[in-house]
Structure 1
Amino acid sequence: MPHDASGDAIRATLARYCQYLDDGRFDDWTALFAEDCEFRVMGLHLVGRDALRGFIEPAQSEEMRGRHLISEPLIEVDGNRATVTTDYAFVGRDLAVQSSGRYHDVLACGDDGEWRFLEREIVFVGDQPADRSDRG
């Protein structure tokens, strides 16, 4: 099986997402997203890095942080874009699983060779992803 450099780079982006968030590195975390990104979670639909940055720090105060654990992602690369689904669990400081579900992502590889999130939707166990079939 040939080595998949795109897959490795995408996996690294997914790992950075978790580690930066868990460590409170919000500027680094926000830089993982495209300028015009879309982010959906808990009924919120945020557009753009500025909206994302304004949301994340209050939502991830130090006492709320734990560890985001992710499964092996399913990655489909088409040129400089990729669709990715990854199961996750969030473990709080009390070591209890506080949330689990699936990330539904679209990433793009920029001119700098970095893969960034164009879209991320977080779907909790028992919920369904948004119907985006009208997006062509």
Structure 2
Amino acid sequence: MSVSATPVRSDLQILPLDARVVLYVTTLAFKPFKEVLEEDVMVANDIEGVRRTLAAYCQLMDDGDYGEAANLFHSDARWTVAGVVYNGITEIRNLVASWPVPDGIKHLTFNSIIDVDGGLATAVSDYLVMKATDIGGVAIRAGRYHDSLSRSASGEWKFSERENRGSSFVRS
């Protein structure tokens, strides 16, 4: 005997991503539960991989390890900093090589909204750059990163495009 399943409530599909557990009720009518769960685990792993790249960028920049930070970009990546576009890994490496080694700098990335579609991802994140002073940490820059990333052949997520949209808090 064949059983034809129909969605219990198709209106559940309008719920935000955080409500995926509820969506299983609807999705089960079309896919086995195990397959749906495996897909969600893969997406969660991809999102965590993107988050890892975002965090690695901050830590490498704080440590002054600009060469490794540049390795987070694909060879044909595009990076926009202060309205200036740097195309390709050579221009990106030259840019970061021109920067002084940071002293008491801390990059913070937060409020990231990450969307993954197969081997491609976008992320929009707020950032804050702090500098140590005699009176404590002071914010010297804040803004928002707009990123496009893709999975490399080795499985790591790397920047295809990165745009820094921000402003300095330092008075001139």
Check whether TM > 0.5. Answer: yes
Of the candidates 28, 44, 49, which is equivalent to residue 84 of structure 2?
44
The count of corresponding residues between Structure 1 and Structure 2 is: 125
Supply the distance in 2 between the matched residues of 1:84 and 1:30 (Cα, whole angstroms).
18
Partner residue, 2:114: 75
Of the candidates 86, 93, 112, which is equivalent to residue 53 of structure 1?
93
Of the candidates 119, 123, 129, which is equivalent to residue 161 of structure 2?
119
Q: Note the residue ranges of structure 1 that are not aligned, 5 or more in a row.
A: 126-136
Q: Which structure is richer in relative contact order (CA contacts within 8 A, separation 6 or more)? A: 1
Please state how far the C-alpha of 1:92 moved relative to its aligned partner. 1.2
Letter in 1 for 2:111: E
Supply the distance in 1 between the matched residues of 2:83 and 2:124 (Cα, whole angstroms).
19
| Structure 1 residue ranges (4+ consecutive) displaced by more than 4 angstroms after TM superposition | none
Higher helix share: 2
Residue pairs, 1:8-19, within 5 angstroms? 8-19=48-59
TM-score (norm 1): 0.85
CA contact (8 A) 2:64 2:101 kept: yes
Identity between Structure 1 and Structure 2 (%): 32
Residue pairs, 1:26-37, within 5 angstroms? 26-37=66-77
Q: Note the residue ranges of structure 2 that are not aligned, 5 or more in a row.
A: 1-20, 22-39, 168-172
Q: What root-mean-square deviation, in Å, do the aligned CA atoms of Structure 1 and Structure 2 show?
A: 1.7
TM-score (norm 2): 0.68
